Amino acid sequence: MASFVSGRFDEDALLEEILNDPDTGTKKLQAGSPPESVKKVQQALFDLTWTQRIDTPVSDRSQFVIGTYGPLTTKTVKAYKTHYDIRFPPGDPNGFIDGLTGPRTLAKLDRHCVLFDLCDAKLAGKAVEVRNATGREHDSPTLPILGTKGAMRLRSGGGIPGIPSGLWFKKGLGTFEVSGPIFIAYQDKGSESGDLGFPFTDQQAGDAPGRFFQEFEGGEIRFEDGQTFVLLDNPPNDIDVSGDSF
């Protein structure tokens, strides 16, 4: 008997029953399903930012996590299943994609929630460290990065005004802050989705006052004499939607 890995879905008899269905197409969450089971799936989709990837995005939790499996939930589930090509019948490239939550959808959500909760915890821990050291706060929502095993948070306030910054975490790599002119250059190069990939160090002092640099998967960014320089090495190749990637 299959079991959920994420604690979010534990002890929900209906969700466990759906998870263990051999994809007959008869066991699924849909309109009229029990509110508490629906809320757990809605919360997962909301945290994974799928409500912000649909037409007319929803960023207010109270508008989505309501326990009613209506048109908005159906649209969000369909967007999720379309991205991961979850079709019925299973394995049929010409099969249809609907907005209902069956066993394969639940299984993938379960794995994604495990990764998301890891990312969220690591970013929260780094946020405390950065706030204690600089006053900069990173209490904004954790944003998963599709196709990777990582996520990020943007600065939400605190510290010296006018210094843009964000936190990035990637499983197996670590959690790091990118800030100031290096942050601006990083954004200009496509951030973690560009050639630089994720950071794997915090900002480091250079060989003279006013000089500093930071290393990334695909190279480094240097700040010298008031200018930033992006030095690319081997661009990362981490576009992978299999396994536990988002």
For residue 14, give the 3-state DSSP assignment: helix
| Whole-angstrom distance, CA of residue 88 vs CA of residue 100 | 11
Query: Which residues does residue 174 pair with via DSSP β-bridges, in sequence order?
Result: 170
Q: What is this structure's pTM?
A: 0.94
Mean pLDDT of 233-241: 57
For residue 138, give the 3-state DSSP assignment: coil
pLDDT digits (tens, 9 = 90+) for 60-108: 999 999 999 999 999 999 999 999 999 999 989 999 999 999 999 999 9
pLDDT digits (tens, 9 = 90+) for 129-141: 999 999 999 999 9
Q: Is the pLDDT of residue 240 over 70?
A: no
**Dihedral (Cα; 144, 147, 150, 154), 10-degree rounding:** -40
Which residues contact residue 15 at a Cβ distance below 8 angstroms, ignoring those fewer than 6 apart?
4, 9, 29, 37, 40, 41, 106
On average, the pLDDT of the chain sits at 94
DSSP 8-state symbol, 88: B
Question: Which pLDDT band holds residue 194 (cuts at 50, 70, 90)?
Answer: very high
Mean pLDDT of 139-155: 97
The answer to whether the CB of 110 falls within 8 A of the CB of 41 is no
Strand (E) or helix (H) holding 219: strand 219-224
Q: Is the pLDDT of residue 36 over 60?
A: yes
Calculate ∠ Cα 222-228-234, nearest 5°. Answer: 55
Mean pLDDT of 14-35: 95
Peptide bond into 89 cis (omega under 30): yes
DSSP 8-state symbol, 192: G
pLDDT digits (tens, 9 = 90+) for 170-182: 999 999 999 999 9
The answer to whether the CB of 110 falls within 8 A of the CB of 139 is no
DSSP 8-state symbol, 141: P
